[in-house]
Amino acid sequence: MDLKISEATLKAMKDLGLTEYEVQAYVALVDGGQLPASEISAMSKVPYSRIYDVLGRLEEKGFVQIQRGRPTRYVAKAPTEVVRLVRLDVEERIEKSGKVVIDELQPRFEQELHEQPRDVWLLHGRAAIVAKAIGMLDNAREEVLLSIPSLDITSEEGTGYVEDLSGLIDRLLNLRNPKIRILTSDVPKTVKALVPENTEVRVRERVFGAGLVIDRRETLIMIAGGDEDSTFLGVYSSHAVFAEMSSSYFESLWTESKPL
């Protein structure tokens, strides 16, 4: 039986936390169904002296189930299930680690804000927010991080929305110097064809709100409260700490998203 998988899948499974032996054993179970350890070892080429340790770690990580009996047999869980479990585990660890960081460092951060001039402004209305975003793009030198629900400029939400978004996307796609990364949930073919070489786009099922980080020093977050222009609220900051926090959150979403 041919247990070969692509290099991309091998790398992806390692990114999910598996060693090469664990990948081989899991693939053997995916292809072979319910198997005892001896057959898994033979199929996967994992040494028999290591196979029980490998299968034990796969069980701990939620990739296989054990069926007790004589002999004990192992069954692979569905890839959709194990990916979901890994995602939940990562989110739980991020939540716990984030709470520890916030509990200790947020008071110190707020104290720092009290001691320095405030570098945070509020912007009201969609047009003002988009104008600020375009101005930030014009100042970009090294890196642009943008998260936006959709790159679709043919939305039926209103001509004002389309015009504003079209101007922003046009300015973004015409930047040549900085490295650009865009995180979104929808990229129409008409826009996809315009993406330049210095721009990398990834997609995920849902992207909430819109955020822009320029050179890890300027941040703009847009929150939409409804369909009316006046309900759009923007939060702009030139504080490096704010930009770093936003960049870190962007990176966490980026790693879980699919390349365009």
As for how many domains the chain has, the answer is 3
At 205 the pLDDT is 84
pLDDT tens digit sequence for 10-30: 888 888 888 889 898 888 888
Asked if the model's pLDDT at residue 253 lies above 50, the reply is yes
Rounded Cα distance between 85 and 79, Å, is 10
At 156 the pLDDT is 47
Question: 51, 77, 103 — which closes off a domain?
Answer: 77
Q: Are 90 and 139 contained in the same domain? A: no
Establish if 69 belongs to a structural domain.
Answer: yes
Predicted structure pTM score: 0.50
Q: Are 150 and 125 contained in the same domain? A: yes
Residue 179's identity, in one-letter code, is: K
Asked if the model's pLDDT at residue 2 lies above 70, the reply is no
Helices 79-115 and 240-255 meet at what angle, rounded to 10?
180
At 251 the pLDDT is 92
Distance of alpha carbon 221 from its chain centroid, rounded? 17
Q: Are 101 and 127 contained in the same domain? A: no
Rounded Cα distance between 133 and 234, Å, is 10
Establish if 37 belongs to a structural domain.
Answer: yes
For residues 256 and 247, is the Cβ–Cβ distance under 8 A?
Answer: no
CA dihedral sign, ordered 171, 177, 183, 188 = positive
At 199 the pLDDT is 87
- Greatest mean pLDDT among 30-34, 54-58, 228-232 lies in 54-58
Beta strands in the chain (DSSP E): 35-36, 64-67, 73-76, 120-124, 143-147, 179-184, 199-203, 210-214, 218-224, 232-237, 258-259
Q: Are 94 and 58 contained in the same domain? A: no
- φ, ψ for residue 185, nearest 5 deg: -115, -5
Question: 77, 101, 128 — which closes off a domain?
Answer: 77
Mean pLDDT of 228-254: 84
CATH number of the domain where residue 18 is located: 1.10.10.10
Task: Quote the radius of gyration of the chain (alpha carbons, Å).
Answer: 24
Q: Are 166 and 95 contained in the same domain? A: no
Mean pLDDT of 216-234: 75
Q: Are 45 and 98 contained in the same domain? A: no
SS3 91: helix
Establish if 68 belongs to a structural domain.
Answer: yes
At 153 the pLDDT is 59
Establish if 2 belongs to a structural domain.
Answer: no
Q: Are 173 and 183 contained in the same domain? A: yes
For residues 24 and 46, is the Cβ–Cβ distance under 8 A?
Answer: yes
Mean pLDDT of 233-255: 89
Establish if 1 belongs to a structural domain.
Answer: no
Q: Are 159 and 216 contained in the same domain? A: yes
Q: Are 42 and 104 contained in the same domain? A: no
pLDDT tens digit sequence for 36-95: 988 888 888 889 888 999 998 888 888 888 888 788 888 888 888 888 888 888 888 888
Residue 141: which region, alpha, beta or left (left: phi > 0; alpha: psi -120 to 50)? Answer: alpha
Nearest to 3, CA basis, from 38, 46, 37, 36: 46
- Cβ-Cβ contacts under 8 Å for 80 (sequence gap 6 or more): none
Task: Tell me the pLDDT band of 178, cut-offs 50, 70 and 90.
Answer: confident
Question: 46, 77, 108 — which closes off a domain?
Answer: 77
Q: 144 lies in which domain range?
A: 118-259
Rounded Cα distance between 33 and 253, Å, is 34
Q: Are 127 and 162 contained in the same domain? A: yes
CATH number of the domain where residue 153 is located: 3.30.870.10
Task: Tell me the pLDDT band of 98, cut-offs 50, 70 and 90.
Answer: confident
pLDDT tens digit sequence for 107-159: 877 675 555 555 788 888 888 888 888 888 888 889 999 988 877 755 544 44
Establish if 163 belongs to a structural domain.
Answer: yes
At 162 the pLDDT is 44
CA dihedral sign, ordered 60, 65, 69, 72 = negative
Residues in the chain: 260
Rounded Cα distance between 171 and 98, Å, is 35
Q: Are 205 and 102 contained in the same domain? A: no
Q: Are 138 and 196 contained in the same domain? A: yes
At 212 the pLDDT is 92
